[in-house]
Chain A
Amino acid sequence: MPVLKLPTPLRPYADGQSAIEVQGQNIAEALNDLIRQYPSLQKHLFSDAGTLRPFVNLFLGEEDVRHMQGVETELKADDVLRIIPSIAGGING
């Protein structure tokens, strides 16, 4: 089963785990399974419109999946998918 690795600030919303086995033929299905297992991650990963929040980067191995087929990228049983956020902010304006 593919494994999804979480960054430190999201682990408290997954019972403190850093790596979670997920089911899915592609990344979208794996993310849906993650949310099914840990619903409180939903609002931190997805906007109200259901799109991934802009700071969420997904890496399959060393590759940003934006450079692959995005969330439609297929997963193999031994794949390791990582969520690595961009950290950003700043004053208004």
Chain B
Amino acid sequence: MLEIANDLLDQIHTHLEAAHPEEGAGFLLGRADAARRVVTAILALPNAGVDSARHNRYLLTPKDMLRAEDEAARLGLDMIGVFHSHPDCPNLPSEFDRDWAMPWFSYIITRVDVGHAVSSRSWRLSDDRAKFDEEELQIISLAS
């Protein structure tokens, strides 16, 4: 199970809606142990893919990865995953997602239809890299 507060999920959705019709992406920071994964911060980043590919691809560069590791360390957190959007497509992992996936990370995929975030689901790559398994995304409601 991956836990995330509703305000953080709202921040993710805002970033991904702004990226539509291109894919948007960023990192999930938080804490993880065998029993529990909790997102406590996000790092929304520009899609570094080339112009002609950003409608169906996202890219976070090694420099982005280092920036996220530094930010996690500064906050006393770990990098625990990645979020990205599937514009006007189901939020199911694609073969391309699987080929490029890192193990252990949680991957939140958000379906964004016509600029509006419709739903988010979370997935983890199986240890044999053969498939993604869905993990429950528990949205924690915070009092406003």
Chain A interface (Cβ < 8 Å from any Cβ of B): 7-10, 12-13, 40, 43-44, 54-55, 57, 59, 64, 84-93
Contact = CB atoms under 8 A, between A and B. Distances in A.
Interface of B: 23, 25, 27, 49, 53, 56-62, 64-66, 69, 72, 78-80, 82, 84, 86-87, 89, 93-97, 99-105, 107, 127-129
B32 to A, nearest CB: 9
B102 A85 contact: yes
A84 B79 contact: no
A23 B20 CA distance: 47
For the residues of B in contact with A, the DSSP-based class is mixed
Given A8-B78, A44-B103, A88 B129 contact: no
B86 A91 contact: yes
15 contacts: A8-B80, A9-B103, A9-B104, A10-B104, A44-B103, A57-B62, A64-B62, A84-B62, A84-B66, A88-B60, A89-B100, A90-B84, A90-B94, A91-B89, A92-B94
For the residues of A in contact with B, the DSSP-based class is mixed
B64 A87 contact: yes
Q: Which among A9, A57, A87, A91 has the highest number of chain B CB atoms within 10 Å? A: A87
A89 B97 contact: yes
Nearest to B109: A89
B104 to A, nearest CB: 4
Contacts of A43: 128-129
A91 B84 CA distance: 10
Given A90-B94, A91-B86, A92-B96, A13 B56 contact: no
Contacts of B94: 89-92
Contacts of A44: 102-103, 129
B100 A55 contact: yes
Contact of A87 (B56, B82, B103, B127): B82
Contacts of A84: 62, 65-66
A54 to B, nearest CB: 7
Contacts of A93: 56
A84 to B, nearest CB: 4
